[in-house]
Structure 1
Amino acid sequence: MIPTLSYAAAAARAPLAPYRFERREPRDKDVVIEILFCGVCHSDLHTVRDEWGKGSYPIVPGHEIVGRVTRVGKDVKKFKAGDLAGVGCMVDSCRECANCKDDLEQFCMKGATFTYAGKDRHDDTPTQGGYSSQIVVDEAFVLSISDKLDLAAVAPLLCAGITTYSPLKHWKVGKGSKVGVVGLGGLGHMALKLAHAFGATVVQFTTSESKRADALRLGADEVVLSNDEAQMQAHAGTFDFILDTVSAPHDVNAFLQMIKRDGTMVLVGVPDVPPTIPAGSLIFGRKSLAGSLIGGIAETQEMLDFCAEHGIVSDIEKIDIKDINEAYERMLKSDVKYRFVIDMASLNKAA
């Protein structure tokens, strides 16, 4: 077994604190990764505070992982010691169902094995995430990381990046598309960068005039105040595609009115209060309302390669792991531009 340092939640309302546990010795197809950086996702906070009903403690969160390979199993073909590598939201799936065979492991019909708060498919032990010194993952779920970009800023691509890249790609956003982005946070700022890189005309919806300059810097061609009726009406019925990244309750119908005939609005945020959608909002204009969940491993690698080619990373604030509880409170107040990333070199000092 591999002794591992980490920060974990011991209970739903407990602050994260140093925790020692053991990772498995690498199986024949496993890759052992020393974790260099780990992004902080809102999902981490939801999970450790048991807001999604997944509580099985202790929980080591973290699924935006970038590191360096230290060991590999005897049958590993894609990685060797010294390689840069990443791990996202999943570490396994059944690999046999129709969705897995279509490279859509996130929709595994038997349930994907998530990086933390999951169960290992081989021995039923709990999976533990990236707020830790190392991780052991089957090579089929390990991503190659380019050395062209700031590794800390690459980490959030493993969740925020693929969560926004996948729907943009699936709904064929590109040159000639008019795209709206709702929400300017960890997900929204990546949606702006990626939609712009895809060649679309991108409009940022916000309720705050103070966000205009940042939205334009990140790739928006225009900024619309969604609480200004005149500005909204000026764009009504003109969007091919809208990506809604907001996880707080809000009026989805207001944005459905922005979509043109046969347009699509996709939700990637999960508000704790379900939206109410009058049928007429969809029927009049043959509009579609859809959802999207991260992406499969092949698409995640495609996204990482695309970002390396176009110089795209997340805007981050780097923190030491001892400051993670404060970072959670700041995240609740949207007091970060736009993603916290833990420098895991700080773990030895903190643990």
Structure 2
Amino acid sequence: MIKAYAVQQAGGELQPFEYDPGPLADHDVEIDVEYCGICHSDLSMINNEWGMSQYPLVPGHEVAGKIAAVGAHVNHLAVGDRVGLGWHSSYCGDCNTCLDGDHNLCSDAQGTIVGHHGGFADKVRAQATSVVKLPDELPSEVAGPLFCGGITVYNPMRQFDLKPTARVGVIGIGGLGHMALQFLNAWGCEVTAFTSSDSKREEALSLGAHHTLNSRDAQALEQAAGRFDLLLSTVNVKLDWNAYVNTLKPKGRLHLVGAVLEPLDISVFPLLAGQRSVSSSPVGSPATIAQMLEFAARHDIKPQVEVFAMQDVNKAIDRLHHGSPRYRVVLKN
């Protein structure tokens, strides 16, 4: 039996929950969960904000742990390996996107917490393809958030062949943004942190930003016209998107990785006149995750975490929901 914490209905409190996962499939692995990050996507799933939650729901898709068992056809992982598991727990492996290496775009991919029990537990199971080894230099305590938040901000750098000479603005310095600053700085970019919080200005500079810009200052936004090659938005709230588009260079890109629920209100002419783009992306493929982990280990990039005991999961959820953690909350078994 796997011992976990689950919610029984939308917005419910997490309670102890046990389930029998059955025999281990030939292409799957079982992971002893050592740490599991808490992401805003977990909150969205708990509250069924996206209309796809199934209950009982065991959240948790930022898993770091050790392989406890491997299926008969698993050859690249062994019992005892330190590994991580992110948003996807399996892929079809046969569609064109999988064959192209874009597993994260597979229409039949299985979400780790979408119709599948996640990592708020002592163990979790997943297809071996979706599980990635951790570099020796990367502590397990900080590895989990890289498998969702980290890869979410790293993936567009890879997908759009971001040049190290690029000028990049990061909108929102929180769970995603504080990792984006570190990745972009190590990539070689000139990095500006957009933040409305004076308390985060010095933190942003210490995390890798070269400049900060007060996102509530309309004049400062106007003065930044034509400055950026890329704007990476990590927020999940509606902003004056036209003001941000105006800060892009010709051929610049506004890229959204925060799950904004409201429709985007963007005028076409500023896009058309400057051949600017608006885009978005999900997490990355296992190959991109592996590359990100190697890059993070090489450049000593680590999310800042606050650690709670797994049995204090409801306190940890409340900290994320109503507090201001710096910057990711992680559960420890």
Report the TM range for the smaller structure's normalisation. Answer: over 0.9
Aligned partners of 2:156, 2:264: CA distance in 1, in Å? 20
Equivalent in the alignment of 1:348: none
Larger CA deviation: 187-196 vs 325-334 = 325-334
Q: Which residue number corresponds to residue 119 of structure 2?
A: 130
Q: Is the 8 A contact 2:169 2:191 kept in 1?
A: yes
CA drift of 1:231 comes to: 2.2
Q: 1:334 to 1:173 in 2, by over 3 A?
A: farther
Equivalent in 18, 21, 24 of residue 22 of structure 2: 24
Is the contact between residue 222 and residue 243 of structure 2 (CA under 8 Å) also seen in structure 1? no
Give the whole-Å Cα distance in 1 for the aligned partners of 2:184 and 2:231.
11
Alpha-carbon deviation of 1:47? 0.4
CA–CA distance in structure 2, aligned partners of residues 30 and 92 of structure 1: 9
Query: Structure 2 matches for 1:99-118, cutoff 5 A?
Result: 99-109=97-107, 111-118=108-115
What is residue 220 of structure 2 aligned with on the other side?
231
- 1:76 is aligned, of 74, 77, 102, to 74
Q: Which residue of structure 1 aligns with residue 284 of structure 2?
A: 295
Q: Distance in 1 between matches of 2:26 and 2:53?
A: 31
1:85 aligned to 77, 83, 86, which one?
A: 83
Aligned residue identity for 1:215: A
Deviation at 1:80, TM superposition (A): 1.1
Contact 1:174 1:195 in 2 (8 A): no
SS in 1 for 2:67: strand
* Residue 165 of structure 1: aligned partner: 154
> Is there any run of 5+ residues in structure 2 with no aligned partner, and where?
none
1:148 partnered with 2:146? no
Give the equivalent residue in structure 1 for 2:189: 200
Q: What amino acid maps onto 2:113 in structure 1?
A: Y
Aligned position for 2:268? 279
Partners of 1:55 and 1:134 in 2: CA distance = 21
Question: Corresponding residue for 2:237?
Answer: 248
Q: How much does 1:40 deviate?
A: 0.2
2:7 alignment counterpart: 9
What residue number does 1:267 align with?
A: 256
SS in 1 for 2:274: coil
Is contact 1:185-1:334 (8 Å) kept? Answer: no
**Contact 1:162–1:303 (Cα < 8 Å) also in 2:** yes
**265-274 or 318-327, which moves further after superposition?**
318-327
Residue 31 of structure 2: aligned partner: 33
Structure 1 runs not aligned, ≥5 long: 119-126, 345-351
Over the residues paired in the alignment, what is the CA RMSD in angstroms?
A: 1.3
Q: Which amino acid aligns with 1:46?
A: S
C-alpha contact (below 8 Å) 2:135/2:297 kept by paired residues: yes
Aligned equivalents of 1:28 and 1:13: distance in 2?
Answer: 35
Aligned partner of 2:167 in structure 1 is: 178
Question: Greater shift after overlay, 20-29 or 325-334?
Answer: 325-334
| Corresponding letter in the other structure for 1:7 | Y
**Secondary structure in 2 aligned to 1:146?**
coil
Task: Give the secondary structure class of the aligned counterpart of 2:59.
Answer: coil
The whole-number CA distance in structure 2 between the counterparts of 1:201 and 1:19 is: 47
Q: CA deviation at 1:276?
A: 0.9
8 Å contact from structure 2 (residues 271, 277) kept in 1? yes
Q: CA deviation at 1:160?
A: 0.4
**SS of residue in 1 equivalent to 2:250:** strand
Amino acid across the alignment from 1:168: M
Which residue does 2:57 correspond to in 1?
59
Question: Structure 1 segments of 4 or more deviating over 4 A?
Answer: none
Deviation of the 1:267 alpha carbon: 0.4
Partner of 1:36: helix, strand, or coil?
strand
- The two structures have a TM-score, normalised by structure 2, of 0.96
Alignment CA distance shift 1:300-1:219 (3 Å): same
Q: Is the 8 A contact 1:251 1:275 kept in 2?
A: no
In the TM superposition, residue 277 of structure 1 has moved relative to its aligned partner by: 1.1
Q: Aligned equivalents of 1:9 and 1:335: distance in 2?
A: 23
CA distance in 2, matches of 1:93, 1:70: 21
Match 1:321 to one of 299, 304, 310: 310
Quote the Cα distance in structure 1 between the aligned partners of 2:237 and 2:4: 30
Task: Please report how far the alpha carbon of residue 287 of structure 1 lies from its aligned counterpart in structure 2 after TM superposition.
Answer: 0.5
Alpha-carbon distance, 1:218 to partner = 0.6
SS state of the match for residue 251, structure 2? strand
